Amino acid sequence: MPLATSTYTPPPLLDGGHRQTLYASLVRRVAFSYDRRERLATPDDDFLDLDWSEAPGADAQRVAVLTHGLEGSARRGYMRGMARAFVRRGWDVCALNLRGCSGAPNRRVATYHSGKTDDLALVVDHVLAQGYTTLALVGFSLGGNLTLKYLGERGPQVDDRIRGAVALSAPIDLSAAATQIDRWANWHYTQYFLRSLRQKMRTKARQHPSRVSARHLRRIHSLRGFDDAYTAPLHGFDGAEDYYRRASSKPLLPDLAVPTLLLNAANDPFLPPSCYPHPLARRHEPLTLEVPTSGGHVGFVSFNADGEYWSESRTTSFLAPS
């Protein structure tokens, strides 16, 4: 499909990638609450917490499954803003909290990672079992990579009730993205993530002292270092590079078989050039690549009476065009 020409124009004084990223993360407030939480048991005796919102007034036949980014949750503003946009348009929403991200530590030593699509598959199967005729997938950042990898793994065999997907600010080349985010200019983001990740590993060390040690945490100052010391070995990978290679969605993009929008801003401070697959998008019909000149990482800030960000309007229009 031809590359999409973006219509996004940033507000005055918010055209920079860092400004967009920080404003959306730290300043935005979303007046929206989920209706209920469901705890879904996993086959390995763990659990996933799902936050549901239902469209008022009718039994919706359409549902959107949302997946957050690294150390996020369904409570993050970008998740609640997207959920609100779908509910306004008559969709039900299931917002997935990845393992350990719902406010309650998960039980197993493994948590989540950028390529752990079996949990997403479990949620999709569970949601479809509720009787929906149309399901859309939306993923942010790490969740965007997960979404694309899930669809690529299934290729033409994907359930025909899955009608489309949107991945926003997705690091489809994980090794290059890890190098990018570990640059000095992104130091403050890296430290933000590491504070949360270190705390979770301390919890894991108390839960599973024979499997996890916290003694290395103080020596880790990069996400690549954390992935090499913890993410990779706890999830069966042979170091960070093996994890990045096997978990990246980019090699699977040619196998996408449902209409999919990859929305990566040109000034995203987390994404290297390899996360903008222009040649593939030109020749692979299911994939639409849209690269707004601005937007930052999960930003795309807009000011309007509805409180809806441009990315939310763009996502819903792509998945349910009028």
Annotated active-site residue in 68, 113, 235, 297: 297
CB 38 within 8 A of CB 49: yes
pLDDT tens by residue, 49-95 = 999 999 987 667 999 999 999 999 999 999 999 999 999 999 999 99
C-alpha to C-alpha distance for 39 and 163, rounded to whole angstroms:
26
Give 201-260 as a 3 state SS string: HHHHHHHCCCCCCCCCHHHCCCHHHHHHHHHHHHCCCCCHHHHHHHHCCHHHHHHCCCCE
Is 17-173+249-319 in CATH node 3.40.50.1820?
yes
Question: Measured between alpha carbons, how far is 208 from 193 in angstroms, rounded to an integer?
Answer: 22
Question: DSSP H helical segments within 102-141, as ranges?
Answer: 117-128
Biggest CA–CA distance in the chain, Å, is 55
pLDDT 10s digits, 87-141 = 999 999 999 999 999 999 999 999 999 999 999 999 999 999 999 999 999 999 9
pTM over 0.95: yes
What per-residue confidence (pLDDT) applies to 102? 97
In this model, does residue 321 exceed pLDDT 70?
no
* Buried-state track 146-176, b at ≥16 Cβ within 10 A, e below 16: bbbbbbbebeeebeeebbbbbbbbbbbbbbb
* Rounded CA separation 259/286 (Å): 5
Instruction: Point out the catalytic residue in the list 25, 102, 114, 141.
Output: 141
Q: Is 141 a catalytic residue?
A: yes
159 is catalytic: no
Per-domain residue ranges of the chain: 17-173+249-319, 174-247
The predicted pLDDT at position 42 comes to: 98
Token duo for residue 106? 């998960």
Give the model's pLDDT for residue 58: 62
Task: For residue range 229-247, list pLDDT tens digits in order.
Answer: 999 999 999 999 999 999 9
pLDDT digits (tens, 9 = 90+) for 200-232: 999 999 999 999 999 989 899 999 999 999 999
- pLDDT tens string 253-299: 999 999 999 999 999 999 999 999 999 999 999 999 999 999 999 99
- Give the chain's mean pLDDT: 96
**268 in catalytic set:** yes
- DSSP H or E stretch at residue 80: helix 77-88
Catalytic one of 92, 119, 227, 268: 268
Give residue 217's pLDDT: 94
